Amino acid sequence: MAEEEFRVTPWEVSGKVDYDKLRREFGTGVIDDGMRERIKRICGELHPMLSRGFFFSQRDLKLVLDDYEAKKGFFLYTGRGPSGPMHIGHLVPLLFTKWLQDKFKVNLYIEITDDEKFLFKRELSWDDVGKHSIDNILDIAAVGFDPERTFIFRDSEYIGNAYQLMLKVAKKITFSTTRAVFGFENETNIGAIFYPAYQVVPTFFEKKRCLIPNAIDQDPYWRIQRDIAESLGYLKTAAIHSKFIPPLQGISGKMSASAPESAIWLTDDEKAVKKKIMKYAFSGGQPTVEEHRRLGGNTEIDVPYQWLSILFEPSDKKLRQIHDDYASGKLLTGEIKQILVDKINEFLKEHRERKKKAEKEIERYTRNGKLATEMWERTYE
């Protein structure tokens, strides 16, 4: 594959993505300096994922900010498919979503798509999906969302409340459309074909505008929502899109659950993290120390640097120092990797402590917090 070739669909990301080209192809808007300034003015600061351009594209984000400033409000929606344990890449949009919730004080709906994963993964049993759901919900709760403003729900458990609205959504979507958007085939099972209707439903949980933080490959899903929302009396959803976290092995494609060595799992212990980063993390450094001292490292393709930039080094000043030291050859490959190892292990240690604590609080998100209580009393029509 030539360097400039890449492929981004909801079910495949390959090659080195030209994000600007992709954004133009998808027809989404940029996040420009003006928009960043406006968010900074409202929020008092900018999340590094915004200031560093990791979240780089949007649909109707201007309208979301307009609604917010006009006191109409908005709400957040994201989700997780419980097909297995979670890795660090899965947490990235959630961490950004938490920041948005903290700053805007808005409701957040997190859909656990147990039905989807059961239907799409041939080998996955319902029991396994159930176990992953419980574990994933704890990992999500550990992110620290506002328990009074957050509702985490499993599709199979909330179906009684959501089904009527789901029928109205489903009636607007043909098999042809799902074939074009999701790549469904004649041999796709009928549950999988229906599932996209459920994915749309939470965008209608409130009459306010919905904002979905997600990686850009998920955008096609929301085009269906935007096509049908107004005919059902709701607003088109807005979205804010991130780039992909590079897999350990190099900056092409995205971190994948089906290639375990490409990711750091939330359950990886300190030794495992160190081993993976040291052994697999693609380096932009030079083959020998001497050459590295002379030529310096290439931060553009250096996965440890990219991970620090996306997630693990929030301080711009420190990141700049690491950048300059690495580019000048002062910082060696083993050293930048060790910085990342320490950061990840610190992050994972804290995450696991929060996850442990979340066990006691989980029902506030799923059952009896303010928003959760309201949601279980409601039937959507």
Q: How many residues does the chain have?
A: 381
Assess 176 for contact with its own copies (CB under 8 A). Answer: yes
Record the tokens describing residue 163, joined without a space: 């089904």
Smallest distance, its own copies to C-beta of residue 113, A:
12
Tell me: does residue 170 bind its own copies (CB under 8 A).
yes
Which of residues 193 and 263 has its CB atom nearest to its own copies in the complex? 193
- Separation of alpha carbons 154 and 144, rounded Å: 19
Secondary structure class of 91 (helix, strand, coil): helix
Dihedral sign, Cα of residue 162, residue 167, residue 170, residue 172: negative
Count of residues in contact with its own copies, rule CB under 8 A = 36
Type of residue at 253: G
Residue numbers 132-161 binding its own copies by CB under 8 A = 156, 159-161
Q: Read off the DSSP letter of residue 231.
A: G
Give the range of 113-121, 282-290, 292-300, 323-331 binding its own copies by CB under 8 A: 113-121
**Would you count residue 171 as binding its own copies (CB under 8 A)?**
yes
Among 2, 44, 71, 186, which residue interacts with its own copies (rule: CB under 8 A)? 186
* Smallest separation (angstroms) from its own copies to the CB of 158: 9
Q: 75 exposed, middle or buried (CB, 10 Å; 0-12, 13-18, 19+)?
A: buried
Interaction of residue 315 with its own copies, rule CB under 8 A: no
Tell me which stretch binds its own copies (CB under 8 A): 104-112, 140-148, 170-178, 309-317.
170-178
Spatial contact of 345 and 117, defined as CB atoms under 8 Å apart:
no
Q: Per CB under 8 A, does 190 bind its own copies? A: yes
- Nearest-approach distance from CB 138 to its own copies, in angstroms: 22
What is the distance between the terminal CA atoms of the chain, rounded to a whole angstrom? 49
Sequence-ordered list of residues with C-beta below 8 angstroms from that of 285, at least 6 positions apart, any chain: 292, 297, 298, 302, 326, 332, 333, 336
Q: Which of 115, 139, 302, 313 binds its own copies (CB under 8 A)?
A: 115
Binding site for its own copies (CB under 8 A): 115, 118-119, 126, 156, 159-161, 163-164, 166-168, 170-176, 178-179, 184-194, 196-197, 381
